[in-house]
Homo-oligomer: A and B are copies of this chain.
């Protein structure tokens, strides 16, 4: 824990099978008009929409509808949500969905009363939120992003081919989040496993940085071991409550600022993955899975002690009689086998990336300096080419 830092996380969590009751406890603290934010029709089909509306009505709330949030929320949708929030004079934004819906809700919360273009202020210029912020609550139906307990908010501008995440301060964190593992049971396998890898990537982006001895790294090793164990169960039995509940909890703690404390962090995989997303509109977690191994294989020599530690402490590689590099590479081999076992996308080709996009994707990838290597444009193109060669 070498750096100085502060820590506070104001989000209250209600976790478990009966956690939707937490919504009833929270609602009285907020005003009458509630912007109800959600995605496609899935929460209408599985009954979650009706249960949430019943509680909102029982608590005397007026609902302002804002459905149709897309998997990669666009800047046009953001403008529309801001209009609805202002016109409806909403005093709470309730996000019911996965990370995209929560991210969008936070974007609306800081943008509705922003006096200039929020895309420019918050995403291109990355400024702090200094105008009126509408409080946000979440009912999570999909795990992965950790958006339920942090200030992260990713918005896509297709016109500019830019997908940008702003991490807001704790004044923008959700005030409360409802985490019911059962709500995640009906998710299709592709979205489920994409979320699993998003969690893993969040941890690895924070783990593969720094050369100091940091408790955060030990916590992350624990989270990774639990994640690997429970996701293997969940792909076999998606309704295994124990496994799905562990995964839901890991997702939250992987990205609620705790494990980054005292550390530098990397996030280069997310930068490349988001740029792939801006070009293809592919599912976020799969953009990460498709570029991770080529990236980690490339930077392994620059962070050898950490990759060795990863192999031994997370993947149980036996070090005896092997060189440091052999141990480290065996860790990545086990990770690759696990990813294939989960059925993750290993090639950006499968996500719709074509040769002519590579330069643009590399240009759209912010270069991060907290990891073991700062990439060049050519190295990003090389990672994408390597990914395109992977089996589909």
Contact = CB atoms under 8 A, between A and B. Distances in A.
A215 B262 contact: no
Contacts of A214: 246
Interface string A240-281: 011101101110010000100110000000000000000000
Nearest to A250: B215
Interface in A6-58: 6-19, 22
A225 B314 CA distance: 13
Contact of A4 (B19, B242, B243, B248): B19
A260 to B, nearest CB: 13
A379 interface: no
- Centre residue among A215, A221, A229, A261 by max chain B CB count within 10 A: A215
Contacts of A360: none
A159 interface: no
A4 B16 CA distance: 4
A108 interface: no
Contacts of A11: 8
B8 A15 contact: no
Given A11-B8, A15-B7, A221-B222, A2 B215 contact: no
A249 B214 CA distance: 10
Contacts of A221: 222, 225
A212 interface: yes
A179 to B, nearest CB: 9
Contact of A246 (B7, B215, B229, B249): B215
A220 interface: yes
Contacts of A262: 15, 245, 249
A125 to B, nearest CB: 26
A47 to B, nearest CB: 20
Given A219-B219, A219-B223, A246-B213, A6 B14 contact: yes
Interface in A200-250: 212-215, 217-223, 225-226, 229-230, 241-243, 245-246, 248-250
Contacts of A181: 1
Given A2-B242, A15-B4, A242-B2, A249 B261 contact: yes
A382 to B, nearest CB: 34
Contacts of A230: 213, 215
Contacts of A220: 222
Given A223-B215, A246-B213, A5 B15 contact: yes
12 contacts: A4-B15, A4-B18, A4-B19, A5-B15, A6-B19, A7-B15, A8-B11, A212-B242, A218-B226, A219-B226, A221-B222, A249-B262
Given A2-B242, A8-B10, A249-B261, 13 more contacts: A1-B16, A1-B242, A3-B16, A4-B15, A6-B14, A6-B19, A7-B12, A8-B12, A15-B261, A215-B222, A215-B249, A215-B250, A245-B262
